[in-house]
Amino acid sequence: MDTLQNMRVFVRVVEAGSFTGAAQHLNTTTAYASRAVSDLEAHLRTRLLNRTTRRIALTEAGERYLQRCEQILAYVDQAEAEAGDAHARPSGKLKVHAMTSFGQHYVVPAVGQYQAQYPDVHIELTLAQRMPDLLDEGYDVALVLATDLPDSGFVSQRLTSAFSIACASPAYLERHGVPQTPHDLVNHRCLQLVTPVFPASQWQFAGPQGIETIDLGPATFQVNVAEAMAVGVREGMGVGLLPIYSAISGLRSGELVWILPEYRSQEMTVFAMYPSRQYLDAKIRTWVEMLRETLPATLAKDQTELRQFART
């Protein structure tokens, strides 16, 4: 028995004053309306309506039950409206996870752009160098940088791509010389950015000769956040691979020098991951759509600016 539906029929019968009137309003038959109320009475083991051939009247129990039905059905209607509105209008809390440095440079500004358009959405952003568990940790969207994604059953959309470049400080290069090829790096102090994606002891470069892999010795310094690596490189500790977004400010100021400008390293795809495509919440849909529209242009702008530092 569909109790909620029978409650709706019962309320409509009382409002209409007859089974026939209720049936017309509900676009059903008088027999169906009568059976729905009878099933409800049988379920409750209580008579709700006194019936004659001409009229109906609520029993005392029916009056009390009618009040509860109206309250319950109002709550149900409100819940359905809120859930349906979530599909249609972005609102509520959006819980987002992103890789640390990428999130600082690109996701935080994107949050500002998004909330200017959708002020009813409150974004909770977590930055960490790991792949989150979307379901267990309750994230709506994770922005992941990876060469590819494992088969997780989640929905993933490719947003753009990013890569790293080799950098050093002017003081370091003055003391140790400028590497001319990737293989020259084996004679330099190579600082290692530890990520879940790339091995710490091996650097791979894409350049004029194709893919070149360099096996490095023990690291004199390693760290798991690109911003910290950028500080070490600026301080003259050695050569480091930095994502463009972590290197660009140091290149502008002259604190960093882009070495091996014909090569790029650690190219990764930026993915947006979320649990399901079915009945997608409006705040998730619009957030991912905005990132897909804005991120490629933002990264392309940084890559265009990067070219000028290859000529200096």
Asked if pLDDT for residue 277 goes beyond 70, the answer is no
**Mean of per-residue pLDDT scores for the chain:** 87
Residue-wise pLDDT for 136-185, tens only, equals 888 999 999 888 776 667 888 899 999 999 999 999 999 999 999 999 99
pLDDT level of residue 116 (50, 70, 90 thresholds) = very high
Task: Looking at the structure, give the CATH architecture of the domain made up of residues 162-268+306-310.
Answer: 3-Layer(aba) Sandwich (3.40)
Residue-wise pLDDT for 256-271, tens only, equals 999 999 999 988 899 9
Cα–Cα distance measured from residue 101 to residue 107, given in angstroms and rounded to the nearest whole number = 9
CATH number for the segment(s) 94-153+270-303: 3.40.190.10
Domain boundaries, the chain: 3-88, 94-153+270-303, 162-268+306-310
pLDDT level of residue 312 (50, 70, 90 thresholds) = very low
Average pLDDT over residues 225-239: 93
Residue-level pLDDT at 202:
83
Which CATH number does the domain 3-88 belong to among 1.10.10.10, 1.10.3720.10, 3.90.1150.10, 2.60.40.10?
1.10.10.10
Task: Look at residues 75, 4, 69 and name the one whose alpha carbon lies nearest to residue 39.
Answer: 4
The answer to whether the 3-88 and 94-153+270-303 domains have the same CATH topology is: no
For the stretch 110-140, what's the b/e string if a residue is b when 16 or more beta carbons lie within 10 angstroms of its beta carbon?
bbeebeeebeebebebebebebbebeeeebb
Residue-wise pLDDT for 22-51, tens only, equals 898 888 898 998 999 899 889 988 899 988
pLDDT level of residue 199 (50, 70, 90 thresholds) = low
What's the distance, CA 216 to chain centroid? 35
Residue-level pLDDT at 279:
59
Residue-wise pLDDT for 81-90, tens only, equals 666 655 567 8
Residue-level pLDDT at 275:
83
Asked if pLDDT for residue 186 goes beyond 80, the answer is yes
- Side-chain-side CA neighbours of 277 within 13 Å: the count stands at 6
Report the C-alpha dihedral over residues 62, 66, 68, 71, rounded to 10 degrees.
180
Q: Phi and psi at residue 256, in whole multiples of 5°?
A: -125, 150
Residue-level pLDDT at 83:
65
Average pLDDT over residues 187-207: 83
Residue-level pLDDT at 84:
61
